[in-house]
Structure 1
Amino acid sequence: MEELLADVVGVLVTVVEACGAAVILIGAVWAFVRFVWVGVRRGGSHAFVPVRLTLGRFLALGLEFQLASDVLRTAVAPSFRELGQLAAVAAIRTALNYFLSREIAEERRQVAEETGAPAPDPASAEHRGRGV
């Protein structure tokens, strides 16, 4: 039974990793197309901020999928070595996601100041990086 569970989890890990890679790839392609489109139409460094924000959201989501695949990988009878590797990878990916979310929130705040729109609510889940 444990062998069957390990096989199923192995397939799930592959699927979740592929989903994460697909999210990042789609985000990169979308951002590149927008980058070219915005650069041709408007130019200027401020025109690229929304493109960076969107790419950042795709990267953050892709990192979440990759972390989920790592958690799944260690779900079936993990060794202490695998748990240690998971802890290290989770810490690195969580730190990357945290700083990426902070940068996205800061860019949103700057865009809101420049456009006169209301700034994001610091208490909102989106501002804390959960809805990025």
Structure 2
Amino acid sequence: MDDLLGEQWLSAAVDLLVRVVEAAGALIIFVGAMVAFVRFVINGVRHRRTESFVPVRLGLGRFLALGLEFQLASDILRTAIAPTLREIAELAAVAAIRTALNFFLSREIKEERAELARRQGGAPDPADPGAAVSAEPSR
């Protein structure tokens, strides 16, 4: 009886954690979409040039990648307690799809960042403090 209550408590606790992590991932994606939308509107009104939207896409891409990582974490948590073979197979499929999405999204972000730096003569994107690209050769 104690084992059953312990399993039920653990299952309920993990279910709560799954919901919290899923909500965090959804919130990250939502906030990223709202930030990108506001930046899109501002850039559209001020600049009206296609290349002014590249930093907006890069920012949204970073939010999407982070949100997908949280969603994958929730899927892993969901199968943490006595998973069936079907649940493991579903997790593997979902993980593969999300990993592929994240890979291609990261690659596109990297390519866009390089293109943006090339257009700006090697200057880093001011909206991205983590993308400091040095224009000087390393010594």
The aligned amino acid for 1:27 is: G
- Report the equivalent of 2:137: none
**Structure 1 residues 1-132: aligned runs within 5 Å:** 1-117=6-122
Runs of 4+ in 1 over 6 A off after TM superposition: none
Post-superposition offset of 1:118: 5.8
Counterpart Cα distance in 2 of 1:115 and 1:13: 43
TM-score (norm 2): 0.84
- Work out the percentage of aligned pairs sharing the same amino acid: 63
Q: 2:46 corresponds to which letter in structure 1? A: R
Deviation at 1:68, TM superposition (A): 0.2
RMSD: 1.2
Alignment coverage as a number of residue pairs: 120
Displacement, 1:2?
1.4
Report the Cα distance in structure 1 between the residues aligned to 2:42 and 2:123, rounded to whole angstroms.
27
1:43: Cα distance to partner?
1.2
Q: CA deviation at 1:74?
A: 0.1
Give unpaired runs (5+ residues) of structure 2.
Answer: 1-5, 125-130, 132-139
CA apart distance, 1:104? 0.2
Deviation of 1:3 after TM superposition, in Å, equals 1.2
What is the alpha-carbon distance in structure 2 between the residues aligned to residue 28 and residue 110 of structure 1? 22
Can you give the 5+ residue segments of structure 1 that lack an aligned partner in the other structure? Answer: 120-125, 127-132
Q: 1:72 and 1:90 mapped to 2: Cα distance?
A: 12
